[in-house]
A and B are shown apart, each in its own frame.
Chain A
Amino acid sequence: MSITIKRLSKFYGKTQALSEINLNIQTGESVGLVGLNGAGKTTLLKTIVGLIINFDGEVLINDLPAMDRMARLSTSFLPEDFSPPLYLTGYDFVSYMLRLSGGNLNQSEVDEFADTLELQVNVLSQPIRTYSKGMRQKLGLLAAMLPDTEIIILDEPLSGLDPGARVVVKDALGTLRKKGKTLFFSSHILTDLEEIADRLVIIHEGKEIFDGKPEELRSYGGRTLEDAFLHVIRSNRTS
C-alpha cells in the first residue's frame, strides 16, 4: 500500500476544506485528482507531502505518518505555480533537490531526463531567472522525477504549458507510470487525466464524490468526460 488516507478532514478557520476523505492508492497506480477551483485538491495533496500538518484523520505513506522523515524519503512533490530559486542554475537546483533526497548529481542522467522533457542541456547551465514559465515547470518536473522516489505527487503539472510541452510532459508521466511509480496528480484537463491516469478521484466542496476508472466516469452520461464530470458535480451539489 503506498498512500492511505483515513477520515481526513481539514478546517481553515470555520471553513471546511476537506471532509472525511478516505482514499487508498496502491503502489504503481496512477491516480488523477480533479475538482472545481477551491474543491480542496491542493489541500489534499499538501497533507500527503507534509506541508499541512494540522488536520483530523490519518495520512500514511507506506504505513508511516506523512510527516515522518522516512515517509518523505519515498515521496517527491511538485507544487502548483511553482518557480525555482531564480538565481540558481538549472543544474544547481536539480543537484540541490537530489542531494536533499540523499542522492548525487549524475550529469549524464540529468541530461537524459532533460532530453525526454525537451529541456535543452545548455539551458540547464543558465540562471533560472532567464527561463520561460514552461521551462521552469519542466525543471520542476525534472527535479521531482530525478530522485527516483517511489511516489510522485504533482499539483497541476500541466498548468501553463503550451500544447507541445503538455504532450512532452504527458509522455514523461507515462514513462514513470510504466516504470511502476505511484503517481498522484491534479489537473483541470480531464482528457489529459484520462490519458495518464488509471483512476480518477473527484473532489467537490471538500468531499470525495467519485473514485473510479475514467470509463466509469463516462458512464454518467454526456458527450465528453467534462459533461460526465459536471453531471457528477451537479448530482452531489449541496443546497
Chain B
Amino acid sequence: MAKVFDHGNSVGVVTPMSAQFDAPLKLQSGGELSGYTLMYETYGELNSTATNAVLICPALSGHHHAAGYYAATPDYIGWWDNMIGPGKPIDTRKFFVVALNNLGGCNGSTGPSSINPVTRERYAASFPVITVEDWVESQALLASRLGIHQFAAVVGGSLGGMQALQWSLTYPERVRYVVTVACAPRLTAQNIAFNEVARQAILTDPEYHQGDYYRYDVVPWRGLRLARMLGHITYLSDDLMGSRFGRDRREGSEAGYQYGFNIEFEVESYLHHQADKFTKMFDANTYLLMTKALDYFDPARSVQGDLRAAFAKATAEFFVLAFTSDWRFSPERSMEIVKPLLDHRRTVSYSVIESPHGHDSFLMSIPHYHALMAAYFDRIEV
C-alpha cells in the first residue's frame, strides 16, 4: 500500500547545498584540515539586514537535513521538522534557518570517509579529532559565507546544545540568543564511561582495521551496532521502555520461553531493529569522533573547572530546557548551565518539561515543549 505523507506546515521541498572552504582550518588539537566541505540546508529567507538567522547545531547523529523533504524522497523528512517550518516554533516565515552536517560527519561534510585531497585516499583513521570549538569555528565561517554576521539565535539539543553554548563563549558578539535543549555543560564520568564502551565496541571489532576498513570494503558493523544499542538505551527512560515493551515477547514467542539466545523479548527486537537501521546509514569512524567531541567538551577546562568563570564571557540571552525523564543529561545537569548565568545576572530562563521519553524528548512533538519554544522565539526581534 502506498504511504501518504502529510507535509502540512512543512517548509516543503528542500535542496542540500555544499560550501567548499580552501583555507586550512586550524584545529584545537594542533592539527589542521587543509580544505573541507560543509553540507548545509537553509529554510526561509534571510532578511535585508541579516538579523533573522537561526543556526541549528546538530546532535551526535544529526546532519543538515533538519526540515522539509527532498523531491525525490518525500518520505525522508528532516530530523527536526516538527520544530522548524511555517507556523512551527522556529517559524520559517520569520527566521532564516541554517542547518548543517558538522565536520567529521558522514552525510557529505568532510569526514573520515572523505578523500583527503593531499593523499587522494580516504582520511580513515588519519582524520583529526574534532572538538566542539572546531565545529563552532567552521560554523562561523559558513555563517560569514552566507552573509550572516550575527545569529538571532543558535539552537541545539544534546551535543548540539554544547555547540550553542560554545558560540556564546567564542563569539559572544555574533549570537543574540542561545537555546539549549536536553544539554549539560560537560559530561560526567558516567557519560564518558558510556561513550568509552561504545568506542571499545567499534575499536575491537575485527573489521575495524585501525579505522582503515574502507580499504577492505568492509565495515565494523558489529561494533557500531553494539555502540548504537548501548546509546539507544541511554536515550530512553526506564519508564518508557517499561510501558512500551514491558516483558512482552514478540510474535511467535508468546507460547513459552525458548530457553535460548535468540531474540524473544520485544525490547530486544526493537534494539536490534534500531541498531541495524543505524548501521546502514552511519560511519563508525564518525561515531568515534562524535563521542570524543562530547567527552572533551568542557568550557571551564582553562579556568580550573570553574563554570562561573567560564561563562563570564557569555552575553547572549539564554533559554535552557530539560526533560524530567532524561537521565543522560538530567535537569540537574542543565541547571549547571543556568547557575553560572544567574551568577552573572544574564538574561536566562529555565524550564523542566514533563516527558516520559528520556533524552530523546528533545526530538518529540510535546505540546508544552513546543509552546515554550514558540513563545521564546516569538520574543526574538528580527
| A and B are interacting partners | no
**A-binding residues in B (CB < 8 A):** none
**B-binding residues in A (CB < 8 A):** none
